[in-house]
Amino acid sequence: MDMFDKNIGKEKLASLELAEASREKEWNYPSFVRELFHGRLPWNLIYPFPEQSEAEKEIGREYLEKLKNFLTTHLNPDEVDKTGEIPYEVIKGLADLGAFAMKIPKSYDGLGLSQVNYNRAIHLIASYCGSTAVLLSAHQSIGVPAPLSFFGTEEQKKKYLPRFRKGAISGFALTEPAAGSDPRTMKTSATPTEDGKYYIINGEKLWITNGNIADILIVMAQTPAKIEKGKEKKQITAFIVETNTPGFQAAYRSNFMGLHGAKLGLLKFNNVRVPRENILLGEGQGLKLAFLTLNTGRLTVPAAVTGMSKLCLMIVRKWSKERRQWGLPIGEHELVASKLAEMSANTFAMDAVTWLTSHMADAKKLDIRLEAAMAKLFCTETSWKVVDDTFQIRGGRGFETGPSLQGRGEAGYPVERMFRDCRVNLIIEGTSQIMRLFIAREALDLHLKRVISIMDAKVPILKRIKDALAIGIYYSFWFLKLWLPSFALREIAHLPSPIKNHMLFVQQTSKRLARTMFLKMLIHQQRLESRQNILARFVDIGTDLFVISCACSYGLSLSKKELNSQAASPIGQKDMLWPPMAKAIELADLFCSQAKVRIARNFEDIRRNQDKAARRVAQNFLAGGYVWLENEIIK
Ligand SMILES: Cc1cc2nc3c(=O)[nH]c(=O)nc-3n(C[C@H](O)[C@H](O)[C@H](O)COP(=O)(O)OP(=O)(O)OC[C@H]3O[C@@H](n4cnc5c(N)ncnc54)[C@H](O)[C@@H]3O)c2cc1C
């Protein structure tokens, strides 16, 4: 990131350098979104919409049936919300069903579910009880099973993985009181013993989901720094830590607005002695492990929030017909109707993104770091809007708790609980802001790789001039191509309308996005890194283009199926009626049309915005210039 370093503070530079050193630098597989950011539309990477084999669908269907039967007979989500406890029998019952080993390979005693089937399970559970979904997903999307399966040695896998089939619980401990989005500020240390056989961990971890009940944790800690090229390099290392090790203490359980059954708070490590063989992936590789784990780990959040949004659809569908005001069912008043339409189209798009990215993870033929981050960003922000609209459509009942509604004889729809449970999804596993910065960095990677050598003062001047000429020639052609009108790609030219028009729009707009990004890079150079609003607009345009593509692919695939109640869907819901062709296309069409409006607004905002004025006001604000606005309040 040398090209960015002049105008930013030392600390920020150090944080960026650490993140940079830990990111996966190679792109060993194609990426649909990376291509989009460079003005190309590789439609064949996402169409036909992937589908599970019949055998896989059946495995998923049978498992979901078991989970559903168990949960609806043993677990009351409102009780979990009220008491803050998921009963022991429920955790035990889930363990008996192998729910703590869903993604663990069969060779280690796990269920060996695919990413799609695992996400189907979390999608189902999240529609019923957010706390239970979080218990299971934090445990195996980011907790010990995921990084251990990916990066563990054979000995480590044999030792730990079978324990999860018996119900051992895990978590992933990165965050600390002073280290949230920025791992550089991490203080927890792991000091090697003199004989080098052990590490002694000291420090605190905050809000580690399941941390207060976990048997085993992945703990990120600082091991002694290395000197590279005369510069001290921070080393963050991942350790497998058994929580019965002396010195570990679950010191405090936090209370939250939602997810009341989740058990997390402050963990203390006081001289916790961990054997060297418990290091995962290698010394100094901890952050890399975290980033790589999150690439697929993040896909469970979209599945969970999509499940939750579908319950919202069910609630507003019933309520909007049943509730009459001003002589009409409320759903027939245009201001409510437009919300119903948008919620349906958005949930359809979330479904498309969730299942497409889950299939991509199973296929292992694509680099999905950008797609997973966009799925997380889009689905969490959109589901929050879906829950908020559900709240609004329910009127005062949205604010009343489910048990209270039931207590006076009404349907106990859990909108108030979902509202509280849902919001944190925009924070966990990478805040929306961090997701945007991460996506922007990866999107610009190809350009940065090309120009970095000519900006590097350490490279001999002649080589830099030669490289600059070669790059200049390359970009002249590349840039010209982005301006030339293009014919519709052969693969999309034959698509039925309106899908064809939407994909033509994606084809054209990806070129516009690529050239706008490139121009802004030339104009702002190193300052672009701190122009977060501009970067965020690029990311939001790219995300909308990706989701439009997913929705079109999904809509087309669904529409090609016969209207036949026996046919199984791409995610294997055998009992789901196939939507008539027009209905799936209708939802895709509305989503795409609304996304196009957002894209136009974002391009306009890149051109003309209030960023400068907002920066000035924010600076004044931080300097205390508007304290007078806080008058007549109780402080
Ligand atoms: C319920 C819950 C469960 C959690 N589970 C886990 C877990 O299992 N494991 C774990 O390790 N952690 C967990 N966390 C912690 C979570 O990952 C962090 O809260 C998250 O990473 C954000 O860190 P922070 O809260 O300290 O916010 P901060 O990093 O302090 O950020 C505060 C605000 O500033 C913004 N911001 C920060 N840096 C930048 C920047 N460079 N540019 C622009 N904006 C920026 C953020 O987006 C945010 O809006 C959990 C948290 C909660 C509440």
Please write the tens of the pLDDT for every residue from 609-621. Answer: 999 999 999 999 9
Give the homologous superfamily in CATH for domain 295-434.
Butyryl-CoA Dehydrogenase, subunit A, domain 3 (1.20.140.10)
Residue 370 has pLDDT above 50, yes or no: yes
Q: Give me the active site residues, please.
A: 429
Q: Which pLDDT score is estimated for 465?
A: 77
Mean pLDDT of the chain: 92
Q: State both tokens at 358.
A: 């889950």
Q: Which pLDDT score is estimated for 340?
A: 98
Mean pLDDT, range 556-580, rounded to an integer: 55
pTM of the complete model beyond 0.85: yes
31 lines ligand 1 (CB under 6 A): no
Contacts (Cβ under 8 Å, ≥6 apart) of 348: 551, 554, 555, 584, 587, 588, 591
438 lines ligand 1 (CB under 6 A): no
Contacts (Cβ under 8 Å, ≥6 apart) of 627: none
| Alpha carbons 133 and 618: distance in angstroms, whole number | 38
Quickly state the pLDDT bin for 231 (edges 50, 70, 90). Answer: confident
Quickly state the pLDDT bin for 456 (edges 50, 70, 90). Answer: low
Q: What is the pLDDT of residues 289-320, one digit of tens each?
A: 999 999 889 999 999 999 999 999 999 999 99
Gap from CA of 210 to ligand 1 centroid (Å): 17
**Among protein residues, the one whose CA lies closest to atom 26 of ligand 1:** 180
Measured from the CA of 210, which atom of ligand 1 is nearest? 8
- Residue 634 has φ and ψ, to the nearest 5°, of -90, 115
Quickly state the pLDDT bin for 562 (edges 50, 70, 90). Answer: very low
Measured from the CA of 220, which atom of ligand 1 is nearest? 11
Quickly state the pLDDT bin for 580 (edges 50, 70, 90). Answer: low
Measured from the CA of 429, which atom of ligand 1 is nearest? 17
- Give the domain ranges of the chain: 2-48+441-610, 54-165, 170-285, 295-434
Ligand 1 probe mutation, 428, 535, 622, most atoms within 8 A of CB: 428
Mean pLDDT, range 574-588, rounded to an integer: 68
Q: Which pLDDT score is estimated for 452?
A: 66
Q: What is the pLDDT of residues 386-442, one digit of tens each?
A: 999 999 999 999 999 999 999 999 999 999 999 999 999 999 999 999 999 999 999
CATH architecture of 170-285: Beta Barrel (2.40)
| Alpha carbons 372 and 273: distance in angstroms, whole number | 36
Gap from CA of 139 to ligand 1 centroid (Å): 18
Mean pLDDT, range 227-253, rounded to an integer: 93
**Among protein residues, the one whose CA lies closest to atom 17 of ligand 1:** 428
Pairing of strands 248-253, 265-275: antiparallel
Q: Which pLDDT score is estimated for 419?
A: 98
Cβ(179)–Cβ(11) below 8 Å = no
What CATH class has 54-165? Answer: mainly alpha
Quickly state the pLDDT bin for 577 (edges 50, 70, 90). Answer: very low
172 lines ligand 1 (CB under 6 A): yes
Pairing of strands 198-206, 216-228: unpaired
3-state secondary structure (DSSP) of residue 37:
helix
| Alpha carbons 51 and 307: distance in angstroms, whole number | 19
Cβ(388)–Cβ(380) below 8 Å = no
Gap from CA of 182 to ligand 1 centroid (Å): 9
- Residue 546 has φ and ψ, to the nearest 5°, of -65, -45
Percent of the chain residues past pLDDT 90, beyond the cut: 78
DSSP label of 630: G
Q: Is the previous residue joined to 498 through a cis bond, with omega within 30 degrees of 0?
A: yes
Quickly state the pLDDT bin for 482 (edges 50, 70, 90). Answer: confident
405 lines ligand 1 (CB under 6 A): no
Contacts (Cβ under 8 Å, ≥6 apart) of 384: 422, 423, 425, 426
**Beta carbons within 10 angstroms of residue 604's beta carbon:** 11
3-state secondary structure (DSSP) of residue 279:
strand
Q: Which pLDDT score is estimated for 472?
A: 77
- Residue 247 has φ and ψ, to the nearest 5°, of 100, -15
Q: How many residues does the chain have?
A: 635
Residue 575 has pLDDT above 80, yes or no: no
Gap from CA of 433 to ligand 1 centroid (Å): 10
3-state secondary structure (DSSP) of residue 614:
helix
How remote is the C-alpha of 476 from its chain's centroid? 36
Mean pLDDT, range 540-544, rounded to an integer: 98
| Alpha carbons 364 and 566: distance in angstroms, whole number | 30
Q: From 103, 124, 99, select the one nearest 112 (Cα to Cα).
A: 103
219 lines ligand 1 (CB under 6 A): no
Measured from the CA of 256, which atom of ligand 1 is nearest? 1
301 lines ligand 1 (CB under 6 A): no
